[in-house]
């Protein structure tokens, strides 16, 4: 995956480098995407990496621990959760809180931009085999 928003970052960029939005809260995870794997929203599949802050542009290979079910403007937009270590219950609760708040922010942004559709966090898909 490629890191697009370092842990603690607030600027989310589009694939072409343009600013998509500036978050009111710092991202608690390294956030990026898996190039060449297209998600339901037409963009590369989103992924987050737990652990220390990584620089934007960092390419990293790290185990997939689970997948978050997320819907963005009525389109499936799953988020791959990666970590060197298995996810703890505290990790899962933190990720759930993050995506619940993130969904609220994305709903507000979509309304402001005049883009209809439901946006929400919808739980976990389940850890892939071998994770």
**Whole-prediction pTM:** 0.87
pLDDT at 119: 92
Average pLDDT for 68-95:
94
Residues 6+ apart with CB under 8 A from 66: 81, 87, 92, 124, 125, 126, 127, 128, 131
Largest CA distance in the chain: 42
How do residues 24-54 score in pLDDT, each as one tens digit?
A: 889 999 999 999 999 888 889 999 999 999 9
How do residues 2-29 score in pLDDT, each as one tens digit?
A: 999 999 999 987 767 788 778 888 999 9
Q: How many Cβ atoms from other residues are within 10 Å of residue 106's Cβ? A: 21
Q: Count CA atoms within 13 Å of residue 44 on its CB side.
A: 16
Tell me how far apart the alpha carbons of residues 44 and 40 are, in angstroms, rounded to a whole number: 9
CB 40 within 8 A of CB 99: no
Question: By C-alpha distance, which of 118, 124, 93, 81 is closest to 103?
Answer: 118
Domain segments of the chain as ranges: 2-124
Mean pLDDT for all residues in the chain: 90
Domain 2-124 superfamily per CATH: Inorganic pyrophosphatase (3.90.80.10)
pLDDT at 118: 93
């Amino acid at each position: 995956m490629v890191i697009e928003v370092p842990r603690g970052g607030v600027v989310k960029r589009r694939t072409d480098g343009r600013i998509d939005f500036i978050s009111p809260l710092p991202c608690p995870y390294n956030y990026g995407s898996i190039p060449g794997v297209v998600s339901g929203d037409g963009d590369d599949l989103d992924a987050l990496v737990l652990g220390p802050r990584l620089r934007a542009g960092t390419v990293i290979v790290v185990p997939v621990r689970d997948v978050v079910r997320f819907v963005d403007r009525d389109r499936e937009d799953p988020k791959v959760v990666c970590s060197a270590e298995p996810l703890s219950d505290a990790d899962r609760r933190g990720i759930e809180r993050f995506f619940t708040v993130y969904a609220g922010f994305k709903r507000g942004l979509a309304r402001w931009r005049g883009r209809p559709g439901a946006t929400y966090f919808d739980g976990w898909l389940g850890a892939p085999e071998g994770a």
